[in-house]
Amino acid sequence: MTLNIGWIGCGRHATQMLMPQLGRNDMRIAAVCDVNEAAAASAAWQYGAEATYSDFNRLLDHKGLDAVCMAVGPDLHRVASIAALERGLPVFLEKPPAKTLEGASEIAAASKAAGKPVLVGFMKRYSTGNKIAGNIVRGGDFGPVLGVTGTYMTAPTYFVGEVDYSGFFLHHCVHYMDLIPWFARADFDEMSVRKIVPQPGKLLFHLNFTCNNGAIGTVVMGTVQSRGTPMEAIQVMGDHVRVEIDNVINVAFYRDPPFKADDASATLDPACDTLCWTPNFTAAANEDHKGYNALIRDVAAALRGEESAAPTIEDGVRAMSNLERMIGLLDL
Ligand SMILES: NC(=O)c1ccc[n+]([C@@H]2O[C@H](COP(=O)([O-])OP(=O)(O)OC[C@H]3O[C@@H](n4cnc5c(N)ncnc54)[C@H](O)[C@@H]3O)[C@@H](O)[C@H]2O)c1
């Protein structure tokens, strides 16, 4: 069944990363909305929408919508998703789901009251390397996760000239407040942080945590690295097994091989030696390594009321809860 979508927020991320995935998943952009009328008109032209609006309430009144999708920004996600749910429409929204935990909880309550799903754009679960590693960790042979370490760095792009970490927390850190517990297979329990601030706006911190399944870990985050370099690395550790993901695509799965040096017949044994994977970027296929299409495929299923692994607003509430605890400990 083709889903008629009303889309709110026609910025760079929506038009370049998300909207291109819709047609592939039998979703049709019926109407678009942006306060920037030129942005709305351009999106409508590119994706064949039949109507443009500058007020999201008017878009929600557009006849024949099956669902509403949005990539606007934290507080609009809350306000517009609740308004859509009150009209009985299911919602996909980008991260962060709201500006605060309270706001995300309001969306979750509205979703429950309407009996309609709200899906959240935590696409890092779908990036090829993270997906492979997640399947290995959940695959049965890995055993319990003992520890997770992760690094997610960025530069102070959201607050040049003005020290405000809220964009960094809401647009970046929120990803790992979802992804790291997803790898640990349990939510954070205790948390502590250490930080260094070499200059106003430049922050490096280590978040140490336990999880409620006993796993331990550290997340390194901050605003002191260039976004022109790879920013993400994760290691998930078990007993004589570990999986490492570099730059969301390169994966290495380490197990328990014998030493090689004194074995004249040493070779590589697929049963115990290290398995590595890296993509072929010259493949002329529609490869989706960041995971936007895989996410939207699951979102489309959920919006149709089918079984789906798409992250939900309940995942969004957990991530916002983790985020607010972390921000409180940082005491900036
Ligand atoms: N998951 C990811 O990889 C990823 C990447 C980039 C952005 N995002 C998220 O997507 C969201 C949008 O980010 P962006 O980079 O596209 O920002 P952007 O500023 O380019 O786009 C936002 C758009 O919303 C419009 N807008 C603002 N207020 C509005 C309102 N009241 N009604 C209708 N339209 C309104 C703006 O005019 C703009 O066109 C953010 O929440 C961000 O965190 C996610």
DSSP secondary structure, 179-236, as one string: HHHHHHTS-EEEEEEEEEEEETTEEEEEEEEEETTS-EEEEEEES-S-TTS--EEEEE
User: pTM for the full model?
Assistant: 0.96
The answer to the question of residue 318 being in a domain is no
Q: How far does the centroid of ligand 1 lie from the alpha carbon of residue 58, in Å?
A: 19
* Residues in contact with 249: Cβ distance below 8 Å, sequence separation at least 6, in sequence order: 127, 128, 129, 278, 279, 289
Indicate the pLDDT class of residue 86, thresholds 50, 70 and 90.
very high
Least confident residue range of 116-125, 266-275, 285-294: 285-294
Residue 161 has pLDDT above 70, yes or no: no
Count Cβ atoms below 10 Å from residue 255 Cβ, excluding itself. Answer: 17
pLDDT over 80 at 98, yes or no: yes
Indicate whether 331 belongs to any domain. no
CB-based contacts of 22: which residues, under 8 Å, 6+ apart?
Answer: 5, 28, 29, 47, 296
Question: Quick check: is 65 in a domain?
Answer: yes
What are 277-321's pLDDT values in tens digits? Answer: 999 988 866 788 999 999 999 999 999 999 999 999 999 999 999
State whether 57 and 178 are in the same domain.
no
CATH of the domain at 198: 3.30.360.10
| Residue 114 CA, ligand 1 centroid: distance in Å | 25
Nearest CA residue ID for atom 27, ligand 1: 72
323 in a domain, yes or no? Answer: no
Residue 284 has a pLDDT of 66
Do 176 and 283 lie in one domain? The reply is: yes
Tell how far the Cα of 202 is from the centroid of ligand 1, in angstroms.
24
By residue count, the chain amounts to: 332
Give the domain CATH number at 63.
Answer: 3.40.50.720
Domain match, 240 and 153 both? yes
| Co-location of 76 and 24 in the same domain | yes
| 326 lies in some domain | no
Mean of the per-residue pLDDT values of the chain: 96
Residues 212 and 269 in one domain: yes
Ligand 1 pocket test, candidate residues 7, 42, 94, most atoms within 8 A of CB: 94
Q: Token digits for 42? A: 């351009």
Same domain, 160 and 273: yes
Q: Which residues, in sequence order, are bridge partners of residue 176?
A: none
**Residue 96 and residue 191 in one domain:** no
Q: What is the band of 156 on the pLDDT scale with cuts at 50, 70, 90? A: confident
Q: Where are the alpha helices (DSSP H) in 87-173?
A: 101-114, 128-137, 166-167
Same domain, 140 and 60: no
- Ligand 1 atom with least separation from CA of 171: 43
Same-domain status, 108 and 37: yes
End-to-end CA distance of the chain: 49
Ligand 1 atom 18 nearest Cα: 11
Put the strands of the sheet holding 118-120 in their side by side order: 51-53, 27-33, 3-8, 67-70, 91-93, 118-120
| Whole-number pLDDT of residue 160 | 59
Q: Domain check: are 238 and 303 in the same one?
A: no
Confirm if 105 and 78 have CB atoms less than 8 A apart: no
- Domains contained in the chain, number: 2
Domain identity same for 111 and 198: no
Query: Above 60 in pLDDT, residue 159?
Result: no
Residue 71 CA to ligand 1 center (angstroms) comes to 5
Whether 84 and 107 share a structural domain: yes
The token pair that represents 324 in the structure block: 């607010």
Structure-block tokens of residue 253:
């799965």
Please give all residues whose beta carbon lies within 6 A of any atom in ligand 1, as ranges: 8-14, 33-36, 39, 56, 71-73, 76, 94-95, 121, 123, 171
pLDDT score at 158: 59
Label each residue of 223-272 as H, E or C.
CCCCCCCCCEEEEEECCCCEEEEECCCEEEEECCCCCCCCCCCCCCCCCC
pLDDT-based confidence at residue 145 (cuts at 50, 70, 90): very high
Does the residue 325 lie in any domain? no
Which mutation among 7, 18, 34, 293 tests ligand 1's pocket best, with the greatest number of atoms within 8 A of CB?
A: 34
In-domain check, residue 167: yes
pLDDT tens digits, one per residue of 67-77:
999 999 999 99
Does pLDDT of 148 surpass 80? yes
Supply the residue whose CA is at minimum distance from atom 33 of ligand 1.
34
- Structural domain boundaries, residue 179: 128-289
Average of pLDDT values for 84-99?
98
The CA distances from residue 137 to 7, 212, 234, 241, 254, in Å, are 35, 17, 13, 10, 12
Which pLDDT does position 140 carry in this prediction? 85
Of the pLDDT bands very low, low, confident and very high (cuts 50, 70, 90), residue 162 is: confident
